[in-house]
Amino acid sequence: MIIDYGNEDEQYRCRCNTTEFNEREIRKTWKCPHCNNPIEILLRINNKKYVTNRIKADQLKEGSLFAFFNSIHEILQVSVTNKNFIRLALKEYGGVEKDKDSFITIVLGSGEYW
């Protein structure tokens, strides 16, 4: 499984019960082990704070914001290249292919959430 993340400033929490987790507890599914809701990931990219979560590449939608190697890119197009890969057309970046089962970090919001 390929995952595009690895920020030492990341914090993991469940919005429903405000429980905080360590990465080992949630990295297989990126869901709360208590309520099964997506884990919110609080991180910094270029000194700006973001609330993100991780979803499988085959769940991505056009218009989502993709956190990719310390930058944020809007997903302009999602297409299936073959049965195992998804191609993403990213604004101001170009194209990138991801394994459909890989977890992708998407931005939910920014600012003083944490």
**In the chain, helix, strand, coil percent, each to 5?**
5, 50, 45
Domain presence at residue 50? yes
The sign of the dihedral angle between the CA atoms of 24, 56, 53, 39 is negative
Look at residue 94 and tell me if it is in a domain: yes
Kindly list the averaged pLDDT for each block of 10 residues, start to end, along the chain of length 114: 54 87 92 92 86 93 90 94 92 94 91 57
40: in domain = yes
Does residue 6 lie in a domain region? Answer: no
In a domain, 37, yes or no: yes
Q: Which domain holds residue 84?
A: 11-110
Q: What is the model's pLDDT at position 63?
A: 96
The structural domain count of the chain equals 1
Residue 91 lies in a domain: yes
DSSP string, 16-53: TT--EE-HHHHTTT-B-TTT-PBPEEEEEETTEEEEEE
